Amino acid sequence: MTVDKIIIKTITERDIPFCMELKNAAGWNQLEQDWKRLIELSPLGCFTAQLHDGTIVGTATTVSFEDKFGWIGMVLVDPNQRKMGIGTALMNACIEYLKPRVKVIRLDATPMGKPVYERLGFKDEYILARYKGTGSSFPATTVKKISSKELPNILAFDKPIFGADRSNWLSRVFQESPDNCFFIEESGKIQGFIMSHPGTKAWYAGPLTANDLTSAEKLLKAVLSSLPGKEIFIDPLTNNKTFTGLLQNVGFTEERILTRMFLGENLYPGTPEKVFCIAGPEAG
């Protein structure tokens, strides 16, 4: 079978059960709610690849952050339909959708997907790692739960660090799991925050952004304390050896590597030294 036998269509909520089947086949962690969030934010920018009988054999999603950059995620292809150009066709649909809307396109690449993205012109930005661990209790600190009152200040704190306003994404994550989102402040100024949400295999902790390692450590331990005994995934930047060492000290182990990549001129890199963990490969 070749790619000319494939039809690219936008994802609808009716497609989510079939998208979940592909996600499960890949061993990924997203819930149906994660697909819904992506479709709500980008109803015309999330795609399926379908056979002529309507069978879904691939997916890819996009989300835009202002007109600065867009994110491509959830690039999945049926294991029985690989090496047929389906992933490239989906990527081309995402790029065609995003290019008129944003200046830069970014994504987090698995080792399997990276050669496809390189052929399309994507370049490496930095390396991430997936760590897995278990929640456990730590002594209380000055960390507080995020409430709706603090949320605007936290979103403003995040914007220059991420490189764009992602209130559309973070607000939804907070609304879905408010009891597992925390911030830390000093003299009335936000010093960092962390959010987390459930998945099919584990809770996902991130993003974690902070002005310094001490704040990041307190925020990490607040999330771990809020999820005792629960399995947790977290994706730090590998060049922050002190923080990955901290993860290892609290029982986390490295599972796999991801590469953050970009297409175009990387005009909005944010402040990576304050990004301790990302929000997830599907949205940065």
Residue type, 123: K
In angstroms, how far is the first alpha carbon of the chain from the final one?
33
At 183 the pLDDT is 98
pLDDT of residue 2: 47
**pLDDT tens figures, 95-112:** 999 999 999 999 999 998
What does the pLDDT read at residue 81? 86
Q: Quote the pLDDT of residue 269.
A: 96
Every domain of the chain with CATH number 3.40.630.30 lies at 3-102, 130-277
Taking the C-alpha atoms of residue 45 and residue 32, their distance in angstroms, rounded to an integer, is 17
Say what the pLDDT of residue 165 is: 98
Question: Which two three-digit tokens encode residue 217?
Answer: 């450590």
- Which residues of the chain fall below pLDDT 50? 1-2
Token pair listed for 277: 């963990």
List, for residues 140-165, the tens digit of each pLDDT value.
889 999 999 999 999 999 999 999 99
**Of 183, 182, 155, nearest to 170 (Cα)?**
155
Tokens of 281: 């490969």
Rounded to whole angstroms, the Cα distance separating 197 from 40 reads 18
User: Which residues of the chain form beta strands (DSSP E)?
Assistant: 7-10, 47-50, 56-65, 69-77, 104-109, 123-134, 144-145, 182-186, 189-197, 203-210, 231-234, 253-263, 275-277
What is the pLDDT, as a whole number, of residue 4? Answer: 63
Looking at domain 3-102, which of 3.40.50.150, 3.20.20.70, 3.30.390.30, 3.40.630.30 is its CATH number?
3.40.630.30
CA angle 198–206–225, rounded 5-degree value: 70
CATH for 130-277, among 3.40.50.800, 3.40.50.720, 3.40.50.1220, 3.40.630.30? 3.40.630.30
Q: Which of 227, 239, 222, 229 is nearest to 277 (CA)?
A: 239
Give the Å distances, CA to CA, from 63 to 17, 117, 283. Answer: 20, 17, 7
> Would you state the pLDDT for residue 140?
85
